[in-house]
Amino acid sequence: MRRGPAVVAGLVTVLLLAGCAQPSDPEWMPHAWPAPEIRAVDAPPPPLPPTKVPGLAGERVRNDTLGLQARVSVVPGGEPVSTAALAHVRAAIDLRVAATDHSYTPEVFDRAAGLGERGCQEGSTVRAAAEVIADPALGPVGGSGIAVVCDIVTAAGPVLGQRIRTIEAAAGEPTADRATVLFADVASGEVTDARGLWNAEAAASLWSVIVDVLRREAGALSLAPVPAPEAAELEAFEGVLDTTLPASDGSFVLSLPEGFTAPLLADLGSPPTEAVRHLVIPPARVSALASPLGAMLSSALTAGTPFSPPPSSPARTGSTDCRLVPCVALTYDDGPGPLTPTVLDALAAQRSAATFYVIGRNVEGDADTLRRAVGDGHELGNHTWNHPRLPTLDAAAVGRQIRDTQNAVREATGVRPTSFRPPYGEYDDAVLAEAGLPAILWDVDTDDWRRPADDVLVERAVDRARPRSIVLLHDVHEATARVTPAVISGLRDRGFTLVTVTELFAGAVPASGAWRSAR
Amino acid sequence: MTGVRRAPRWRGALIVTGAVVVVVAVAGFALVPVVLPWMQTTVAETDRTIRLSAGERTASLLVPAGWSVQRESDESPTVVVRTPDAALALTVDLVPGASVDAVAATAVEGRGAVRVEQTSEGTALAHAEAPGVLVAAVSASDGSASARVIARADPERRESYDAEIAGLLDTVRVGQ
């Protein structure tokens, strides 16, 4: 009898529990949106310290007449790369010539100008424009004119990236500010801008990827693919590709400007971007959308491949345009000798060139030194066999002095000198006719053979030089060898680039005559 | 001495049975509306297409495997779909007009602006949000009717279901 009510109560309980229970799987998790392929970062990749990039050299041009100061990095042995960088300097000169109605002539300054510090100053392309203009190491004198500054943005494998920025200013106030990044394959000589890192499909593809990320951020629920951009949208987006900067892991960073939008985003009620956004394109996506040079760069960065500069001589010979930069030729007479290597060491340390007018009878005993001089990129000249007073000799004797020295130098080094220096600077028409080579003299005489004090010697060599001067020294005097570093740095601080005699004459010494300078 | 006379056993049984009947009656009135619908909830092991109709308007949607579907009958114009964890409930019905209008006309406290998109079929998709609630609608191609979806979940978790909601919305077809 008691069992019946219990059964009923049990049935009611089951109904109650069934009514409260819901079909559920507490272990089930909702799918999330796929992780976005691209991510945002706070800032683009910073520039590299140029001192950490092997094989670079710096150029620096200051011209107070035009109101110009320009600094770029060049790659000795990589002429197409250097030419592309220097094109921005030339363009700035052209602008200032047009603005001032002055012609351009390379200028030098006193040693305190400190122009020996050349090439890119790290971070100069991202500093405030007014700061750059006001910086005496970067801006035009007085704050009016043009500053050209640079940064190394990447260097991996054979690829170098340099950002070059041109700032125009009047009375310290910037009036124009533009930058471009040059990417160069120093092995092949290919040079391109940031857009050239991408292939033809990249703009449309990246546009869609970016709009997809932005729409999800705005709460989009559509699973439809992002429609392809309209022509105008694509054209505008090409400008975003110009901001491409490689990161150290092989990704590329794009900077999306403020005000970016798309119709799809507007329909979502998503306003145009309110600030610049730096978006990281991962290496896998880069490799699918990059140009061959871009892919090579990304791969090199991913692999951690260090930058490999092209081979070049320590003296950087052959890469200087003396119409663009102020040049001077240091010439060393009477060697080779035991002090010549010291001079060569100093020249190599500051990547500078010189010309050695050698005595024929010294060649055999120091052939190794001469071969090193040639290998370092310096020039050899003919200073006769044993240093006679040539006007006192007959024609045959003059001929032997020159010819025997030519043969000795060629036999030792494979090089045939293209100019001679008459001992004591003495020559006449007969000597010139018999020599068959142009006579290269000098316009700056250091009188080092008189053994002046070191500071006097340096002052003569450095402070008397003018653009296209030829300086006379002798690599057989200890003081001369000793002060070579100071002479080189002093001339560079004045703004000079040290070149060979042939470079001073724009790549070809005159066929005949006597020359005291290249002016 | 006089003995205590015990009540007959049949009287006690009668009292207990009467109490049980009262309890069952009360429970019946209170719980049938709750229990019976759950007795109309189904959970399929595979994806399944659910169809709605209201007059001449029709709609279909694909409910993923493991989700529950609750409706009064197969002809009901309204269906409630729940995720397997039962944390998100989506009420789907048919309303006249385009999707934008359908969303705009749905009164939900704190609803934000209506957003307009397209499904992968190219039909209009509109949606708006409020705390814990998403109101969405997918139009017929001629805009004459829309399938409206009102999704509700804990406000702190609602957005984590966006991808699931998007997947469901993309399967909605109106007027087919």
B34 closest CB neighbour out of A19, A30, A268:
A19
Pair B70, B50: CB distance under 8 Å: no
* Phi, psi angle pair for A38, to nearest 5°: -110, 150
- Cα separation, A9 vs A104, whole angstroms: 109
The reply to whether residue A28 touches residue B66, judged by beta carbons under 8 angstroms, is: yes
CB-based contact B149:B159 (threshold 8 Å): no
CA atoms within 13 A on the CB side of A159: 28
Q: Which residues of A touch B160 (CB under 8 A)?
A: 30, 32
Q: Give residue B38's pLDDT band: very low, low, confident or very high (50, 70, 90).
A: low
- Tell me if B34 and A15 make a contact (CB, 8 A cut-off): no
B2 pLDDT tier (thresholds 50, 70, 90): very low
Torsion sign over Cα A156, A159, A160, A165: negative
**What's this model's pTM, rounded to 2 decimal places?**
0.84
Q: Which residues of chain A make contact with B115, given a CB cutoff of 8 A? A: 218-220, 267-269
Closest residue in B to A28 (Cα) is B85
Contact A409, A362 (CB under 8 A): no
Question: Which of A1, A24, A223 should we substitute to test contact with B (largest number of B Cβ atoms within 10 Å)?
Answer: A223
Contacts of B24 in chain A (CB under 8 A): 8, 12
Closest residue of A to B15, CA-based? A5
Q: How big is chain B, counted in residues?
A: 176
For A263, which residue in chain B has the nearest alpha carbon? B117
**Confidence at A22, pLDDT banded by 50, 70, 90:** low
Q: Do A267 and B117 touch (CB under 8 A)?
A: yes
Q: Report how far apart, in Å, the C-alpha atoms of A424 and of each of A90, A154, B57, B133, B158 are.
A: 40, 52, 112, 100, 96
Find the closest chain A residue to B25 by CA distance. A12
Instruction: Return d(Cα A193, Cα B108) in angstroms, integer.
Output: 53
Cβ atoms of A314 and A347 closer than 8 Å:
yes
A31/B17 Cβ within 8 A: no
For residue A368, count CB atoms less than 10 angstroms from its CB and return exposed for 0-12, middle for 13-18, buried for 19 or more. exposed
- CB within 8 Å: B86 and A19: no
- CB proximity list for A366: less than 8 A, separation 6 or greater: A335, A336, A337, A340
CA distance A354 to B26: 112
In A27-67, DSSP assigns E strands to 39-41, 57-63
Taking CB atoms and an 8 Å cutoff, what residues of chain B touch A211?
none
Nearest CA to CA, how far is B17 from chain A (Å)? 6
Contact (CB<8Å) A222/B9: no
Look at A31 and B167 and tell me if their CB atoms are within 8 Å: yes
Across the interface, whether the CB atoms of B38 and A19 are under 8 A apart is answered yes
Element (H, E) at A370: helix A367-375
Q: How far is CA A76 from CA A55, A349, A418, in A?
A: 7, 15, 24
> Residue A37 burial by CB count (10 A; 0-12/13-18/19+): exposed, middle or buried?
middle
Q: Is the pLDDT of residue A80 over 80?
A: yes
* ipTM computed for the complex: 0.82
- Reported as a single tens digit per residue, the pLDDT across A439-479 is 999 999 999 999 999 999 999 999 999 999 999 999 999 99
Residue A279 and residue A257 in contact, taking contact as beta carbons nearer than 8 Å: no
Give how far B165 is from chain A: nearest CA, Å. Answer: 8
Cα separation, A59 vs A311, in Å, equals 19
A→B interface, C-beta within 8 Å:
1-2, 4-5, 8-9, 12, 15-16, 18-33, 218-225, 264, 267-269
Predicted local distance difference test score (pLDDT) of residue B74: 80
Using a CB-CB distance cutoff of 8 angstroms, which residues of chain B are in contact with residue A13? none
What is the pLDDT at residue B132? 92
The rounded distance, in Å, linking the Cα atoms of A89 and A73 is 11
Indicate the residue type of A54.
Answer: P
> From A20, which residue of chain B is nearest by alpha-carbon distance?
B35
At A231, the pLDDT band (50, 70, 90 cuts) reads very high
- Closest chain B CA to residue A11: B24
State how far the Cα of A20 lies from the Cα of B37, in Å rounded to an integer: 11
The pLDDT of A31-46, averaged and rounded, is 94
CA A118 to chain B, closest CA, distance in angstroms equals 56
> Is the model's pLDDT at A489 over the cut of 50?
yes
pLDDT of residue B3: 45
Q: Are A502 and A331 in contact (CB under 8 A)?
A: no
Mutation target among B32, B88, B162 for the A interface, most CBs of A within 10 A:
B162
- pLDDT of B43 higher than 60: yes
Q: Which pLDDT value is given to residue B19?
A: 80
Q: How confident is the model at residue B106 (pLDDT cuts 50, 70, 90)?
A: very high
Strands (E), A92-231: 145-156, 159-170, 173-185, 191-193
Question: Are A24 and B86 inside 8 Å of each other by CB?
Answer: yes
The arrangement of strands across the sheet holding B133-139 comes to B41-43, B68-70, B78-82, B89-96, B145-152, B133-139, B124-130, B115-118
CA distance A156 to B89: 55
Best B16, B70, B82 member to test A by mutation, with max A CBs in 10 Å, is B16
Q: Give the residue from B111, B116, B149 with the most A CB atoms within 10 Å of its CB, the best one to mutate.
A: B116
Query: CB–CB of A339/A502 below 8 Å?
Result: no
Cα–Cα distance for residue pair A160/A240, rounded to 1 Å: 21
Tally the residues of chain A. 519
Give a three-class secondary structure readout of A212-262.
Answer: HHHHHHCCCCCCCCCCCCCHHHHHHHHHHHCCCEECCCCCEEEEECCCCCC
Largest CA distance in chain A: 155
According to DSSP, residue B126 is labeled E
Q: Work out the minimum CA distance from A199 to partner chain B, whole angstroms.
A: 28
**Does the distance separating the beta carbons of B166 and A5 come in below 8 Å?**
no
Query: CA of B165: which chain A residue's CA is closest?
Result: A221
Mean pLDDT of B3-32: 68
Q: What is the pLDDT of residues A174-211, one digit of tens each?
A: 999 999 999 999 999 999 999 999 999 999 999 999 99
Which strand (E) or helix (H) includes residue A340? helix A340-349
Shortest Cα distance, chain A CAs vs residue B3, angstroms: 26
User: Sorting pLDDT into bands at 50, 70 and 90, what band is B56?
Assistant: confident
With an 8 Å Cβ cutoff, are A222 and B118 in contact? Answer: yes
The DSSP 8-state label assigned to residue A290 in this structure reads B
In this prediction, residue B95 has a pLDDT band, given cuts at 50, 70 and 90, of very high
- Tell me the percentage of chain A whose pLDDT exceeds 70: 95
Answer left, alpha or beta for residue B140, where phi above 0 means left and psi between -120 and 50 means alpha: beta
The confidence score (pLDDT) of residue A327 equals: 98
What does DSSP say about strands A145-156 and A379-382: parallel, antiparallel, or unpaired?
A: unpaired
**What is the C-alpha separation between A379 and A329, in angstroms, rounded?**
10
Mutation site, B21, B29, B31, interface A, largest A CB count within 10 A: B31
Contact B127 A18 (CB under 8 A): no
What chain B residue is nearest to A219 in terms of C-alpha separation?
B162
Q: How far is A1 from chain B (nearest CA, A)?
A: 7
Judging contacts by C-beta atoms under 8 Å, the chain B residues touching residue A20 are 34
CA B142 – CA A47 distance, rounded (Å):
56
Give me the pLDDT at residue A171, please. 96
Averaged pLDDT for residues B17-43: 67
Structure tokens at A200: 């033809």
Residues A328/A498, Cβ–Cβ less than 8 Å: yes
Query: A-B interface: how many C-beta pairs under 8 angstroms?
Result: 109
CB spacing of A5 vs B16 below 8 angstroms = yes
pLDDT for position B1: 43
Residue found under tokens 């060599």: A461
Considering CB atoms only, which of B27, B115, B118 is closest to A224?
A: B118
Q: Could you give the residue numbers annotated as active site of A? A: 333, 474
